[in-house]
Amino acid sequence: MSRDYLSVDPRTGERIGRSATLTPDATRQLVGESAGAQRRWRERPPAERADALRALSAALGAARDDLAHLLVREIGKPVAQSVAEVDKCRALCDGFADHADTLLADRRPLAGDLPARIRLRPTGVILGVMPWNFPYWQALRLAVPNLLLGNTCLVKPAPNAALSTLALADVVARAGLPPGVFTPLLVSESAVADVIAHPAVTGVSVTGSVTAGAAIAAAAGAAVKKVVLELGGSDPFIVLADADVEAAASAAARSRLGNAGQSCVAAKRFLVERPVAEEFLAALTDRFAAHRVGDPADPRTDVGPLARADLRDLLHTQVRESVAAGARVVLGGEPVAGAGFYYPPTILTDVPVDAPVWRDETFGPVAPVLVADSTQDLLRLADSDEYGLGASVWTTSPERADHLADALPAGMVFVNEIVQSDWRLPFGGIRRSGIGRELAADGFGEFANVQTHWYGPPPAGPSTSE
């Protein structure tokens, strides 16, 4: 029996919505409708598709407050951060619309004066299997580039974020985009493989756990369909001895505590060179302690609840097992008493590298801090997990920054800035953090038919004689 999609207010644990899981017949109908919409959508001139994205940006702006407050209720995201997510989606729409000509322009061959062009063409219907932590941004991070290209999108939301996805689809419709180009697909996890196997579906993008990504990639491989995987990370945040420690500590708190630490690109493991270790730990502790935990609807709140009770319980298990293995609690370390799924900003030191908070991804406001004595030590500790999404390096030395950036196993390295997704930059990781890229020109072409056009001379006409 399929489980329905249940939305629960993380502040109280009360159910706020229930959406029925689609039947197989209803699923096939929606996939077919998306395929029909794609055949019509791909024939629209690129300028019209770009204008549709601008209209979507305007519609998001009109619905900004309603969308933001729904995130507060459904996933517990603080209201200011929820508004920022909607604004980020607007920038995504406008950015791709404004650069449509560049993204869709024919490319010339790499070398030689060949009579050929390389052109990006749409492929069909793209399935997105989406998480709950940024339900608007991550759905549109897939949809906006593909809609501009001429594909259509089916979006399977996380089971606890269906209301946000349905609200987003309503905004897409109000923006005037045709039915079928952006379709919520409330199917069970067991039905995803059947959707992937549908002939109209030409690719699948997954943001989620390694386990889920591997299973979906196997289904895509069996159907010979393109797959892009973004499977999270455990990003190192590296502070060198010559860094601006105060700036680094402020950025570290912003990265680790945003969305209550529930972000794939949040800094999750903190590495500090010994000469500034005590100074950084003190500064980080001050900033963590200053973050207010509370109702995400209150504009004064910095850290809201975790999205689900099981996520809070898993995080606390990781902390408890790490302390049992020898880690020392500097701040926090116990769930907040009372209603809701709250966990306080927490700092651990003296963490063994095989402890859960260092070895595994932690999805919450927990910061393990380790001290390193050399560049080799930094790289060894940074490379002591299986992920490879992002890394942040703090230093005033361009030479050391470049050396570390080149050596770190990560898809993205930010120097003197926190790792973040930006529509202008390719987003993605290596190793168990995933396959492929989203955003920018690199992500734009992931679900395109990269089509070569060769233009030979016209055949000679029939000879004429008198």
* pTM for this model (two decimals): 0.96
* Confidence band, pLDDT 50/70/90 cuts, at residue 2: low
- One domain, residues 197 and 342: no
Known active-site residue 74: no
Instruction: Look at residue 466 and tell me whether its pLDDT is greater than 60.
Output: no
Chain-centre distance for alpha carbon 388: 14
Q: What is the pLDDT of residues 433-460, one digit of tens each?
A: 999 999 999 999 999 999 999 999 988 7
- Domain with 177, as residue range(s), is 5-231+436-453
- One domain, residues 56 and 197: yes
Chain-centre distance for alpha carbon 68: 18
Q: Residue 460 domain-assigned? A: no
Q: Residue 423 domain-assigned? A: no
> Mean pLDDT across the stretch 29-45?
99
Q: Residue 106 domain-assigned? A: yes
User: What is the reported pLDDT for 413?
Assistant: 99
> CA 247 to CA 233: how far, in whole Å?
23
User: What is the reported pLDDT for 160?
Assistant: 97
The CATH number of residue 210's host domain is: 3.40.605.10
> CA 434 to CA 113: how far, in whole Å?
37
* Structural domain total, the chain: 2
Q: Which of 85, 230, 361, 446 is catalytic?
A: 230
Instruction: Look at residue 393 and tell me whether its pLDDT is greater than 60.
Output: yes
**Can you list the pairs that 310-317 forms with residues at least 24 positions away whose Cβ atoms lie under 8 Å?**
311/262, 311/341, 311/363, 311/364, 312/341, 312/342, 312/343, 312/364, 314/363, 315/343, 315/362, 315/363, 315/364, 315/366, 316/343, 317/356
Instruction: Look at residue 155 and tell me whether its pLDDT is greater than 90.
Output: yes
**Can you list the pairs that 4-7 forms with residues at least 24 positions away whose Cβ atoms lie under 8 Å?**
5/157, 5/159, 5/160, 5/162, 5/186, 6/159, 6/160, 7/74, 7/160, 7/161, 7/162, 7/163
Known active-site residue 230: yes
- One domain, residues 114 and 170: yes
Q: Which of 89, 93, 153, 264 is catalytic?
A: 264
User: What is the reported pLDDT for 1?
Assistant: 42
